[in-house]
């Protein structure tokens, strides 16, 4: 009778016995092994490890650019403080030292300030250069860890995916969470050595990709 009344009123008949299936949750898209990101990696880094065209470069982890600004800010602060100290000592040397400094002494102080200025500026540029060079590169066969310790010192490690036991990400400070940076630490099976890289931009993206590729590589070996 209720159905007849619904039809008479122009309302649609609803079958309460019909079950409505809930939409299935979509899986997170995995990394595409067919996409070669080789063009996104500077040519100089592609010559640092063994690979060929059959080994696509899938992803790279680089440091966040805000670290460069921090380095320049520290260098500028050092120059500013040094300049203020030298300027104060030169202008009011009698109050500080109890006697007026000679002209030669003031010239030496100014020269020292110039040297500190040059060293701070050059140190900031070189530190920013070293900071930006370090990175981690992921292929379908290995992880390449490139760490610059100085302009003349660097460490390059090629780690097979089957040898990697874990890829950890840590964000120890609130700054890391605000700027989406963190430290990636690669651990290998059977070794005590670890491979950490700090201030990495979007570290979880690289870590998730590395874990996905490692699972795809190790899965055939489990059968």
> Which of 2-6, 52-56, 110-114, 138-142 has the highest mean predicted lDDT (pLDDT)?
138-142
More confident call, 205 vs 217: 205
Q: Would you state the pLDDT for residue 35? A: 72
Burial classification of residue 59, based on how many CB atoms lie within 10 Å of its CB (0-12 exposed, 13-18 middle, 19 or more buried): buried
More confident call, 111 vs 201: 201
Contact status, residue 201 vs residue 61, Cβ threshold 8 Å: yes
Q: Would you state the pLDDT for residue 98? A: 61
pLDDT tens column, 78-125: 888 887 877 776 666 666 566 666 777 777 877 887 888 888 889 999
* Strand order, beta sheet including 194-201: 164-170, 181-188, 194-201
Single pTM value for the model:
0.75
Region of poorest pLDDT, from 11-15, 104-108, 114-118, 179-183: 11-15
Mean pLDDT score, 173-179: 91
Size of the chain in residues: 223
């Amino acid at each position: 009778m209720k159905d007849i009344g619904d039809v008479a009123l122009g309302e649609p008949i609803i079958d309460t016995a019909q079950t409505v299936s809930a939409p299935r949750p979509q899986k997170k898209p995995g990394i595409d092994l067919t996409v070669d990101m080789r063009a996104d990696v500077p040519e100089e880094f592609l010559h640092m490890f063994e690979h060929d065209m059959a080994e696509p470069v899938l992803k790279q982890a680089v440091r966040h650019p805000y670290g460069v600004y921090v380095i320049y800010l520290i260098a500028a602060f050092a120059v500013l403080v040094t300049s203020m100290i030298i300027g104060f000592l030169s202008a009011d040397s009698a109050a500080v030292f109890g006697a007026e400094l000679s002209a030669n002494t003031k010239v030496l102080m100014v020269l020292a300030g110039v040297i500190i200025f040059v060293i701070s500026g050059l140190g900031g540029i070189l530190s920013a250069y070293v900071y930006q060079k370090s990175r981690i590169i992921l292929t379908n066969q290995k992880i390449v860890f490139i760490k610059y310790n100085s302009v003349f010192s660097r460490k390059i490690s090629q780690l097979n995916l089957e040898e990697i036991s874990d890829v950890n990400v840590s964000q120890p400070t609130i700054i890391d969470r605000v700027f989406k940076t963190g430290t990636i630490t690669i651990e290998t099976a059977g070794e005590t050595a670890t491979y950490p890289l700090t201030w990495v931009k979007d570290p979880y993206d690289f870590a998730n990709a590395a874990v996905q590729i490692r699972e795809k590589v190790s899965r055939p070996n489990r059968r």
